[in-house]
Amino acid sequence: MNETPRILVLGASGNTGGAVVKTLQAYGAQTSGVPSSGAPSSGMSIRTTSTKNVRSTGTDHVRFDWSAPDTYATAVAGVDRVYLIAPVGVVDPVPPVEAFLAEARRAGVRRTVFLSSSAVRTGGPGLGQVASLVQSVMPEWAVLRPTWFMQNFVGRHPLAEAIRSSREFVTATGDGRQAFVDAGDIGATAAALLVDDAAHTSEFYVTGPESISYDDAAAVLTEAIGEPIRHVAVSVEQRVRQYVDSGYPADFSASLAGLDDFIRTGQNDFVADTVNRFTGRPPRPLREFMSEHRDKLLTPG
């Protein structure tokens, strides 16, 4: 491990960013004489951000808002490595990320670990363009391409809300399978890539340990809460109509249903060894995740 990496974690209150911080803090705690977080120069330092004002997370914490470019310079000052998640819910994430990366390079940042998606080809629209940008701007980079998060079944995701309100959820994935991944494992992998002496400049798929269908997932949820949870399979066309009927624009509805089709056609049906390779332990299976998050299946976390 590098003696003194100075790391900025964007989205630290989120699914993956939170896990990045937790893992980095554990690394710090394991290093004799090095404070577990926010250490100035004697060991690894961790800076986290949020759109609100400073929260007490045990790290150096600054305000950062993608929609306020004047917050970028403070966030990257004195930092050499960054965990990057792109702005969520914006039409084109490229302009703000481009401005941020330029600021980061000026401040001396050399390595960026960027969270993309298994469904997004580098160079493709949205996150794909951001991945290209990271690769062209940063001397050292890693692009993580995870499958769908286990966290989608709990918390505030629409899938989780459907399960809570009706004990069923709808997809157009058919029998398509994928290896759902715990965001905790993504964060742990990202942390390892941030602190490693070697840069590993490459793209990595990040998955859970087993590729399963949404019917299989429903069976795991049923077992976890002891109540039947049903996966309702519809066609891609029906799914598009459902999104439109619930108020989404036609284009966006087609993109959302397209993600289900991606799974239905087997394009997410694989298992990668990335978590094991970089964390030294296997990724968590859905059954274990669900038994730990049983309460959140029925109550928003």
Ligand X SMILES: NC(=O)c1ccc[n+]([C@@H]2O[C@H](COP(=O)([O-])OP(=O)(O)OC[C@H]3O[C@@H](n4cnc5c(N)ncnc54)[C@H](OP(=O)(O)O)[C@@H]3O)[C@@H](O)[C@H]2O)c1
Residues that bind ligand X (CB under 6 A): 11, 13-17, 50-51, 64-67, 85-88, 115, 117, 146, 148-149, 152, 183
Q: Shortest distance, CB of residue 32 to ligand X, whole angstroms?
A: 31
Residue 180's nearest CA partner among 202, 199, 203, 157 is 157
Which residues make Cβ contacts (< 8 Å) with residue 96, sequence separation at least 6?
A: 66, 67, 69, 87, 90
Which residue stretches of 170-235 are H helix? 183-195, 214-225
- Are 104 and 134 within 8 A, CB to CB? no
- For ligand X, give the closer residue by CB, 43 or 82: 82
* Rounded distance between C-alpha atoms, residue 176 and residue 203, angstroms: 24
**E strand or H helix at 82:** strand 81-85
* Rounded distance between C-alpha atoms, residue 138 and residue 197, angstroms: 16
